[in-house]
Chain A
Amino acid sequence: MCKYGLVNRIIPFSCVDGPGNRSAVFFQGCEFRCAYCHNPETQNLCTSCGVCVSQCPTKALTMGDKGVLWNSELCCSCDQCLNVCPSHSSPKARWMSVDDIFQELQGALPFITGITISGGECTQYHQFAAKLFDRAHELGKTAFCDTNGQLPFREMPELTAVMDMAMLDVKAWNDERHRELTGKSNRIVLDNLNYLSEIGKLYEVRTVIVPGLLNNEETVEQVSRHLAHYPEIRYKLIKYRPWGVRPPLEVQPPSDQYMEQLRTLACENGANEVVLT
């Protein structure tokens, strides 16, 4: 399967997925089940249940022999299919080859500094991603992974070698809390934090701040202590925002004031560059 990756969508220009202007490729599928997931439609592979087909207002979806077929020409991007999907999947995900992806990025290439793969969880397709990154380098573009660290980079040598940098989510420092939030332990995530820092391939660590749900201070404090040894790695604190979250969470986005407090906490604990967003 390493000739193809299942792509949820491609954004030709993004200024929030690493340095400079980048194209972002979102893969389908993730092992975490975060309560605050902003793209729940990227979590699972389609089960071909057919529920979305009848709900599409423009008849862009049909049931074929091998599953749902999506006609992009007819699609009006209403996202009704995503809302009704019982499996947190998308009928619009496409199996794409490296050629397919760069074909689609053709028009964007002159204007981007690199590509970033995201998800879902991009490392689910690590062998494919390594090939994608080789091609990016041939074209003079940089290659970044936006990952939640659920798979060990130590065990994905091709991808780790070829990628320029990773941006890693550390969602919760406390393992119990991490399990509650994502359904999985954070043992591998924290090992990735160490490993990627040591080999100089960590561009940024990210934590989503959710008051009332997570122990934000603990995570910020611990990550910052780690980053004190790596001043070149920046720490991005992201405000929880309710958009796209299904089912909605019973929590409020953090105040600017609280975000500032956390920034101060991060700096006091040694993080060199802290970005709020």
Chain B
Amino acid sequence: MTENMEAKVKEIMEDPKLTYPQRLIELAKAAENLPDPVALSEEAQWFVDRDIVFDMGEGNAPYRPRYVVPDYDKFMKQGSKFLMLDPPKDIWDAVSNLLILYRFVPSVIAGPVYVGHIDRLLDPFVKDEEEARHAIRLFLTHIDRTISDSFCHANIGPYDTRAGRIILELSAEMQRPVPNMSMIYNEHTPDDFAKKAIGTGLITAKPSFVNDAMYTADWGSNYAIVSCYNALPVGGGGLTLGRLNLKKLADVTESPEQLLNDLLPRAVAAQCEQMDKRDTYILENSHFLENTFLTEEGLIQKDRFVGMFGLVGLAECVNQVLHLTDPKERYGHGKQAEEFALEILERIHSQVEAYKPKYGKFALHGQVGISTDLGVTPNTRVPVGEEPPLPEHLLITAKTQKHFAAGIGELFPFEETAKKNPQAVLDIIKGAFAEGMRYFSFYSSNSDVIRVTGYLVKRSDIEKYDAGEACIGNSTVLGSGASKGLHIFERSVRSV
């Protein structure tokens, strides 16, 4: 054990702010990072050394896919031989079976990043309304307290169900950040149900709305929203997430032409190489898929896994490379900035799409940022504090989200008045989806649970954490960092 490692381990063990499970995760991560990183070509390494291409600190020796997205619907039908569970007969069996399975779904976080389309899973067992409410309350409480990570994500919708309504009502009542939640929205979603979801969202910052038509075009109908807002095939998931930092790329760029014709294609190639090698390591070296009952029982299969090509800092890249200082010309405002941004995205998209990895395929993902980011805006967003008026903000967001099949999201805080008129928020969502926006998160500026770039935190928990107390949710730690680096509490609040 190197001295460094010993210091690191001690630091983790002695950190008073980490709970026991949080400590375990940190220790495992330290161990995973002991081997050397997967070897890269010199060219790719050049971009890695400059933090332009980043493996998200997933670990030098990835021993499982980043995001595992099991087919819970199948599990409900067949039970599990390995777990010695029969298919559920009532709502109690159903929540119990699911809670057991969650313990065996690995991800880059300690627990599952996806807990299922929970309304669709539970609705067949809703017989007595009050009993169902009781069971679902225990279910949600259990997830919040034991998985306690806001990257754990539940899906609901698009159809109006009794279970869906109970889940929305309980979420509004409990006001807890876990699980994160998305409402699959399409033309079959009744306005009434959508408005109920919006009412809940304005109280507790979830669910977000998913443009089902767009994701179905990418993946077919059997996809799920997981982690912050990643979209991935059900019965598989995401192997690794690479991240291209366009701001850091701009730092080494001298002209727009050099970016488009030289540096960008090379950086994209470097990231594809890194993802490809890491994906291959997971499948060929760590043998994760062969060693889990999830594969044996058909809940995941190899060919349903993809690689996520993430990116951040488009705004900074455009402003910096074009030397834009006038607020009217900068990204989010000026025509030239918009055209250049779309050109960059077009180029990245076609190169990534053309790349043929050894396993699966790669899809673009609008990465949400990490807590240590400073002066790098997540995905294609307009930097906090520079947002244009809401209509223009919606339009530029929609335009830049087009190619992100593996998920992207922007969030919009609304004033308290919107609570009295959820239809107004629904009108905005419908309009945004018609314009091509993929994913719409919102919250009310004065709620306790708020959204930090893609995940949820309790404002009151961050205050506690900053004051030196341990908190149950991992995301509190991230949120504390983001509140400083990304000025999340200073987002422009929308009055409609």
Instruction: Let me know if A20 and B424 touch, CB within 8 A.
Output: yes
Instruction: Let me know if A113 and B427 touch, CB within 8 A.
Output: yes
Give 1 or 0 for each of B416-445: 1 = CB within 8 Å of chain A CB.
Answer: 011011011111101110110000000000
Instruction: Let me know if B395 and A15 touch, CB within 8 A.
Output: no
Q: Which residues of B contact A13 (CB under 8 A)?
A: 390-391, 424, 428, 494-496
Instruction: Let me know if B391 and A107 touch, CB within 8 A.
Output: yes
Q: Which residues of A contact B417 (CB under 8 A)?
A: 15-16
Q: Which residues of B contact A60 (CB under 8 A)?
A: none
B392 within 8 A of A: yes
Which residues of B from 384 to 423 have beta carbons under 8 Å from A?
Answer: 389-392, 394-395, 417-418, 420-421, 423
Q: A12-B389, A13-B496 are in contact. Are A111 and B394 (CB under 8 A)?
A: yes
Instruction: Let me know if A21 and B425 touch, CB within 8 A.
Output: yes
Q: Which applies to chain A's interface (DSSP): helix, strand, loop or mixed?
A: loop
A72 within 8 A of B: no
Give 1 or 0 for each of A8-48: 1 = CB within 8 Å of chain B CB.
Answer: 00001111100111100000000000000000000000000
Q: Which residues of A contact B395 (CB under 8 A)?
A: 107, 110
A265 within 8 A of B: no
Query: Closest approach, in angstroms, between the C-beta of A70 and any C-beta of chain B?
Result: 19
Q: Roughly how many angstroms separate A111 CA and B437 CA in the complex, as a whole number? A: 12
Instruction: Let me know if A20 and B391 touch, CB within 8 A.
Output: no
Instruction: Let me know if A20 and B427 touch, CB within 8 A.
Output: yes
Q: Which residues of B contact A19 (CB under 8 A)?
A: 421, 423
Q: Which residues of B contact A107 (CB under 8 A)?
A: 389, 391-392, 395
Q: Roughly how many angstroms separate A250 CA and B421 CA in the complex, as a whole number? A: 32
Q: Roughly how many angstroms separate A15 CA and B434 CA in the complex, as a whole number? A: 20
Q: A13-B428, A15-B417 are in contact. Are A21 and B496 (CB under 8 A)?
A: yes
A49 within 8 A of B: no
Q: Which residues of B contact A22 (CB under 8 A)?
A: 424
Query: Closest approach, in angstroms, between the C-beta of B152 and any C-beta of chain A?
Result: 32
Query: Closest approach, in angstroms, between the C-beta of A108 and any C-beta of chain B?
Result: 4
Q: Which residues of B contact A110 (CB under 8 A)?
A: 394-395, 431-432, 434-435
Q: Roughly how many angstroms separate A83 CA and B435 CA in the complex, as a whole number? A: 40
Closest to B389 in A: A12
Closest to A108 in B: B391
Q: A13-B391, A15-B417 are in contact. Are A111 and B428 (CB under 8 A)?
A: yes
Query: Closest approach, in angstroms, between the C-beta of B493 and any C-beta of chain A?
Result: 13
Q: Which one of A12, A111, A277 lies within 8 Å of B427 (CB-CB)?
A: A111
Which residues of A from 135 to 179 have beta carbons under 8 Å from B?
Answer: none
Q: A20-B421, A21-B423, A111-B431 are in contact. Are A14 and B392 (CB under 8 A)?
A: no
Q: Which residues of B contact A20 (CB under 8 A)?
A: 421, 423-424, 426-427
Query: Closest approach, in angstroms, between the C-beta of A133 and any C-beta of chain B?
Result: 19
Q: Roughly how many angstroms separate A21 CA and B494 CA in the complex, as a whole number? A: 12
Q: Tell me which of A12, A16, A21, A277 has the highest count of chain B C-beta atoms within 10 A of its own C-beta.
A: A21
Give 1 or 0 for each of B260-290: 1 = CB within 8 Å of chain A CB.
Answer: 0000000000000000000000000000000
A63 within 8 A of B: no
Q: Which residues of B contact A15 (CB under 8 A)?
A: 417-418, 420-421, 424-425, 496
Q: Roughly how many angstroms separate A108 CA and B496 CA in the complex, as a whole number? A: 12
Give 1 or 0 for each of A98-119: 1 = CB within 8 Å of chain B CB.
Answer: 0000000001101111000000
Query: Closest approach, in angstroms, between the C-beta of B52 and any C-beta of chain A?
Result: 35
Instruction: Let me know if B431 and A16 touch, CB within 8 A.
Output: no
Query: Closest approach, in angstroms, between the C-beta of A243 and any C-beta of chain B?
Result: 14
A275 within 8 A of B: yes
Q: Which residues of A contact B389 (CB under 8 A)?
A: 12, 107
Q: A13-B428, A14-B496, A15-B417 are in contact. Are A113 and B423 (CB under 8 A)?
A: yes
Q: Roughly how many angstroms separate A19 CA and B391 CA in the complex, as a whole number? A: 18
Q: Which residues of A contact B390 (CB under 8 A)?
A: 12-13, 111
Q: Tell me which of A22, A110, A275 has the highest count of chain B C-beta atoms within 10 A of its own C-beta.
A: A110
Instruction: Let me know if A112 and B431 touch, CB within 8 A.
Output: yes
Q: Roughly how many angstroms separate A111 CA and B390 CA in the complex, as a whole number? A: 10
Q: Which residues of A contact B495 (CB under 8 A)?
A: 13
Query: Closest approach, in angstroms, between the C-beta of A197 and any C-beta of chain B?
Result: 23
Q: Roughly how many angstroms separate A127 CA and B175 CA in the complex, as a whole number? A: 50
Query: Closest approach, in angstroms, between the C-beta of A206 and any C-beta of chain B?
Result: 14
Q: Which residues of B contact A275 (CB under 8 A)?
A: 420
Q: Which residues of A contact B426 (CB under 8 A)?
A: 20
Instruction: Let me know if A21 and B427 touch, CB within 8 A.
Output: yes
Query: Closest approach, in angstroms, between the C-beta of A115 and any C-beta of chain B?
Result: 12
Q: Roughly how many angstroms separate A20 CA and B424 CA in the complex, as a whole number? A: 4
Which residues of B from 356 to 408 have beta carbons under 8 Å from A?
Answer: 389-392, 394-395
Q: Roughly how many angstroms separate A21 CA and B427 CA in the complex, as a whole number? A: 6
Query: Closest approach, in angstroms, between the C-beta of B451 and any C-beta of chain A?
Result: 20
Which residues of A from 215 to 233 have beta carbons under 8 Å from B?
Answer: none
Q: Roughly how many angstroms separate A112 CA and B435 CA in the complex, as a whole number? A: 13
Q: Roughly how many angstroms separate A110 CA and B428 CA in the complex, as a whole number? A: 8
Q: Which residues of A contact B418 (CB under 8 A)?
A: 15
Q: Which residues of B contact A112 (CB under 8 A)?
A: 427, 431
Closest to B421 in A: A15
Instruction: Let me know if B420 and A277 touch, CB within 8 A.
Output: yes
Q: Which residues of A contact B421 (CB under 8 A)?
A: 15-16, 19-21
Q: Tell me which of A12, A13, A16, A19 has the highest count of chain B C-beta atoms within 10 A of its own C-beta.
A: A13
Q: Roughly how many angstroms separate A107 CA and B398 CA in the complex, as a whole number? A: 13
Query: Closest approach, in angstroms, between the C-beta of B430 and any C-beta of chain A?
Result: 8
Query: Closest approach, in angstroms, between the C-beta of A51 and any C-beta of chain B?
Result: 30
Q: Which residues of A contact B496 (CB under 8 A)?
A: 13-15, 21
Instruction: Let me know if A111 and B420 touch, CB within 8 A.
Output: no
Q: A12-B390, A110-B431 are in contact. Are A21 and B420 (CB under 8 A)?
A: no
Closest to A277 in B: B420
Given contacts A20-B424, A20-B426, A111-B427, 20 further A-B contacts (CB under 8 A): A12-B389, A12-B390, A12-B391, A13-B391, A13-B496, A15-B418, A15-B424, A15-B425, A16-B420, A20-B421, A21-B424, A21-B425, A21-B427, A22-B424, A107-B395, A108-B391, A110-B394, A110-B395, A111-B390, A111-B432
- Enumerate chain B interface residues (CB-CB to A < 8 A): 389-392, 394-395, 417-418, 420-421, 423-428, 430-432, 434-435, 494-496
Considering the complex of A and B, which 7 residue pairs feature the smallest CB-CB distances, nearest first?
A111-B431, A15-B424, A21-B427, A21-B424, A107-B391, A110-B431, A15-B421
Would you list 27 pairs from A and B whose C-beta atoms are within 8 A, ordered by A residue? A12-B390, A13-B390, A13-B391, A13-B424, A13-B428, A13-B494, A15-B417, A15-B425, A16-B421, A19-B421, A20-B423, A20-B424, A21-B425, A21-B427, A107-B389, A107-B392, A108-B391, A110-B395, A110-B434, A111-B390, A111-B391, A111-B394, A111-B427, A111-B431, A112-B427, A113-B423, A113-B427
- Enumerate chain A interface residues (CB-CB to B < 8 A): 12-16, 19-22, 107-108, 110-113, 275, 277
